[in-house]
Amino acid sequence: MKSFIDCSALHTDCIIIMWKILIFYLFLELIHGNYTDPIYPISNPCLAILDRLSDMSSAFLNCAVSRARPFKLCEGCVDTYARLQDLVGLLDLTYSDVDRTITCKRFLESYDSIQVVAQLISFVHNIWGLSYCDNCIKNYKDTNGTTDYSLTNHTIKFVQKKLNFDLCIFNATGRMVPIIPIDLNVTLNTNVCTVCSTVYNEINEFFIQITRDNKNGVCMDIVDTMNYTRLLWSKIYECKRHDPDYMAIIGISFFIPTIVFVFYVSALFKGERKQQKLSRQKRLPAHSTTAAIVGARTWLWSNPNE
């Protein structure tokens, strides 16, 4: 019984024919087969992006909630936010049809009244924007699953000053500074207020400078860290906080009322003295009246033409 292809006679032609059959079979599988791609696990690329967008948005929200106290959202969740931003950028670069006329953004956002995808992206952007994370983190991007970012200059300086303060507290008390200084069972150590006053004033004044330089808003990572630092300093260790702005306000508030009080007291005192001088003689003496009459007559007789 002969086979469909007799390879014993034409060995080279047999190999060529078999390769053609194999290539044709692979081509059919590539077109009609149900295969899985590592980047787009489902056939429609827009649905693949939607699936990844769902995972990344969920990961970002979980990260944001877990870092709400203490607030470390910006630096703690920048990796998931950068990946989410990368997926959002793909919505405008990827098409849902072969003719490349409908982008994935239009495909996912423009065909329903609720616009779940658009609402979700806007919600994530609002969280990031209201936290002013761009004021402390810059140049964040996702490259092959690895997130690269850098801190702003004032953020780096603030972190360094915070480390100096924590080190001073540790040297003075022998204990690490707690992440959340609430209900902290500590023994009052007046040495802390004396030894660490310089480093505390440095970080406090630098934070005030940051608030002045960033009129649009300060990164909430920095704001929350400074709030806990002030709480630890004034409430836990009961150290007196020195704020130059508050001292100036107190000084002005005391100086202006003092000037007003002195002015009114001086005016009242001088007014009484003048009133006494004016009311000392209530009527003219008799001889003064007679002299005035004689003087008037003399003036009339000496000026007959007038």
State pLDDT tens for residues 247-266: 555 455 555 656 655 555 56
List pLDDT tens digits, range 145-156: 788 899 999 999
CA dihedral of 49, 52, 53, 57, whole degrees rounded to 10? -170
What mean pLDDT is predicted for residues 114-133? Answer: 91
Q: What is the per-residue pLDDT for 301?
A: 45
In the structure encoding, which two tokens stand for residue 239, read together?
């150290």
For residues 123, 62, 176, 189, the Cα torsion angle rounded to the nearest 10 degrees is 50
Higher pLDDT residue, 21 or 85?
85
In the structure, how many helices (H) and strands (E) does the chain have?
12, 2
Would residue 95 be called left, alpha or beta, if left means φ above 0 and alpha means ψ between -120 and 50 degrees? beta
Contact 241, 204 (CB under 8 A): yes
Using CA atoms, how far residue 273 sits from 225, 269, 283, in Å, is 62, 7, 20
Measured on CA atoms in the order 184, 186, 189, 190, is the torsion positive or negative? positive
Indicate the residue type of 280: R
In the 8-state DSSP scheme, what is residue 177? P
Token representation of residue 261: 């009080």
Q: Give the model's pLDDT for residue 187.
A: 57
| pTM listed for this prediction | 0.61
Dump pLDDT digits (tens) for 193-241: 899 999 999 999 999 999 999 988 999 999 999 999 998 898 888 887 5
The token pair at 95 is: 């098409």
Neighbours of 79 (CB within 10 A): 19
Alpha carbons within 13 angstroms on the beta-carbon side of residue 290 total 3
DSSP conformational letter for 241: P
User: What's the one-letter identity of residue 187?
Assistant: T
Residue 91 contacts by C-beta under 8 Å, 6 or more apart in sequence?
Answer: 49, 103, 104, 105, 108, 109
Q: What is the DSSP letter of 240?
A: P
Cα–Cα distance, 83 to 81 (Å, whole number): 5
- Looking at residue 234, its amino acid is S
Q: Does position 270 have pLDDT exceeding 70, yes or no?
A: no
Q: At what angle do helices 153-173 and 220-231 cross, to 10 degrees?
A: 20
Q: Is the pLDDT of residue 41 over 50?
A: no
Of 134, 125, 157, 122, which is closest to residue 218 (Cα–Cα)? 134
Structural contact between residues 100 and 86, judged by C-beta atoms closer than 8 angstroms: no
Under DSSP, the state recorded for 73 is H
